[in-house]
Structures are given as C-alpha cells and as structure tokens.
Copies of this chain bind each other. A is one copy, B any other.
Amino acid sequence: MLRKYIEQYSGSTLTEEEFALVTASFRPRHLRKKQYFLQEGDVSKNMAFIVKGAMRQYSVDEKGGEHIIFLCTENWWVGDRESFTMLTPSRYNIDAVEDSDILVTTSEAFQGLVDKIPAINNMIRTMDQRNSIANQKRIHSAISLTAEERYFSLLESNPALFQRFPQNMIASYLGISAETLSRIRKKPRTTDH
C-alpha cells in the first residue's frame, strides 16, 4: 500500500533495491482504539503512514476542551510536523479513534530515504503541494464561512469522514460546538451549498 502510494505521488516506479530500502526504514505497529501515537510535551520523533484505521491530532486547552486539527484515515500520514522538523516538544496529542495498523519511520530513517531515492523526494513535493492547497482551503473556510456553511462544505468534500468519526469530533474539527452541529443537522437545509 505504501509502495503504491509512493509510486502514485512521485509519478515514478521504485526499483526492487529502493523498495527494500523503504521496507527497512519502516516498522509496522498496531494501535488499539484510544492508544496514543504522540502525547503533548513529547518530541514527535516518528511519522507514520496509516495502512488501516482512523486517527486524530488534537490539542487540549486549560479547561480540558479538545481541539481537533486533523482527522486522518487510510493513506494519510500522522505526526506533528513542527515538532518533527524543529525537534521541539509538541503541543498536540495523536491517538487512534479506531484500532489502527500503521507503518512508523523515524526522522533519521526518513531523511536517509529522501537523500537516496529521488522518487521519495518527488513524493514529498507532491504531498507538500496538496497539503498546502488543502490548508489554504481550510483557512479560507474558517475565516469566510458560517458554521452551517463549513458543515455542508465538509460533507460535500469529504463525506467519508462522517462515517468514520463521531459527531463531537466532526464538530471540534470544524471549530464549532457539538450543540451547534446538532442544531445544523436537525434544521431543514435552506441554502444550496
């Protein structure tokens, strides 16, 4: 699955030697539901590719409220990029929302792949590009749309999330309260988004 992902995102084929290098740089890990991949205050030394499962990245405020910044399923990467790049303690937690199978790599191992395999370099450029476009859209939604518009926009662009994550997590991801989300869902739809 990771090989297919790398080849698709890099637009090139891995040789058997390259694939062996990739395989040697990742180790499989199983996370039970609610198990942590990263805890706030730790340095995010690992990144992981989700083979199966659902995970989330979130902060916890001083009142204990959770703020979900990313919801991730199969074929996504998890890890706090700021902490992973800068080697600073993370302000985020990452845990499994479903039992998950992931492939874990370290900062050093991954940098080794980037240096040795051109396809990995190309994959990162494609990922960064898509990531940057997705983040731009999400920032634009956050500053310009109402809570209701944000809900329908996500339902349209990523309906699968609603099957995998409970309503309270969807609300947090959208930056709205669970009560507001519940009210929006009960209301007949008036606008044509």
- Measuring CB to CB, which residues of chain A are less than 8 angstroms from any residue of chain B? 59, 61, 65, 67-69, 81-82, 85-86, 121, 124-125, 128-129, 131-133, 135-140, 142-144, 172-175
Contact = CB atoms under 8 A, between A and B. Distances in A.
A9 to B, nearest CB: 14
Given A124-B125, A135-B132, A139-B139, A175 B81 contact: no
A129 to B, nearest CB: 6
B142 A139 contact: yes
Say how many copies of this protein the assembly contains: 2
Given A143-B67, A174-B143, A82 B135 contact: no
A61 B144 contact: yes
A114 B143 CA distance: 33
Given A69-B143, A135-B139, A143-B173, 18 more contacts: A59-B144, A69-B139, A69-B140, A81-B136, A82-B133, A82-B136, A85-B129, A85-B133, A121-B121, A124-B125, A125-B128, A128-B132, A131-B132, A132-B135, A139-B139, A139-B142, A142-B143, A143-B174
Contacts of A133: 81-82, 85-86
Given A81-B136, A128-B132, A132-B81, A67 B175 contact: no
